[in-house]
């Protein structure tokens, strides 16, 4: 059986910590990270284990459209392996990443898009969550009030 490659999208402070704790449970899988320079934690070396630092790709943050272009080039040029699963959890860059992979689905096999609404959201979706809700294959909510009224929301 082929080993699955998981792309974890890192964002600002709390989002990155939450994503890294989710990624720890994915250790048998091939996990790599994508984040924007300005959005990563101040000292990523403290948060990302040394083994994983070489698997972390940073993009320049010169607006979201530029970031989307950089993501496209990174994957199309072969600078990064094509993932089987994209795991996002709430930062603004997640909207761009999900959008880019959704557009790629017209040209090649699209990875499964998984969005985990951050634990801080207890009653309503975040802006990122509301934007990617219809594009994701799996949408995960961590609180029961968030899952109510959603047709395809997974409760954890």
Alpha-carbon distances, residue 8 vs 20, 49, 125 (angstroms) = 8, 14, 20
Which band of pLDDT confidence, cut at 50, 70 and 90, is reported for residue 89? confident
The pLDDT > 70 percentage for the chain reads 56
pTM: 0.75
The pLDDT > 90 percentage for the chain reads 0
Residue 60 CB neighbour total at 10 angstroms: 11
Average pLDDT over residues 41-58: 47
Alpha-carbon distances, residue 148 vs 57, 106, 117, 122, 151 (angstroms) = 36, 32, 14, 11, 8
Say whether pLDDT at 45 is over 50.
no
Domains assigned to the chain: 5-155 (3.40.50.2000)
Which band of pLDDT confidence, cut at 50, 70 and 90, is reported for residue 151? low
- Residue keyed to tokens 């607006």: 63
């Amino acid at each position: 059986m082929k080993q699955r490659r998981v792309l974890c999208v890192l964002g600002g402070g709390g989002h990155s910590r939450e994503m890294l704790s989710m990624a720890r449970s994915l250790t048998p899988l091939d996990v790599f990270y994508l984040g924007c320079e300005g959005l990563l934690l101040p000292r990523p070396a403290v948060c990302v284990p040394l083994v994983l630092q070489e698997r972390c790709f940073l993009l320049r943050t010169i607006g979201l459209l530029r970031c989307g272009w950089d993501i496209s080039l990174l994957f199309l040029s072969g600078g990064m392996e094509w993932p089987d699963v994209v795991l996002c959890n709430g930062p603004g860059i997640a909207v761009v990443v999900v959008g880019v992979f959704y557009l790629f689905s017209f040209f090649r096999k699209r990875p499964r898009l998984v969005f985990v609404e951050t634990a801080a959201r207890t009653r309503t979706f975040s802006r990122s969550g509301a934007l990617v809700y219809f594009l994701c294959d799996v949408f995960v909510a961590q609180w029961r009030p968030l899952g109510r009224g959603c047709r395809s929301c997974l409760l954890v």
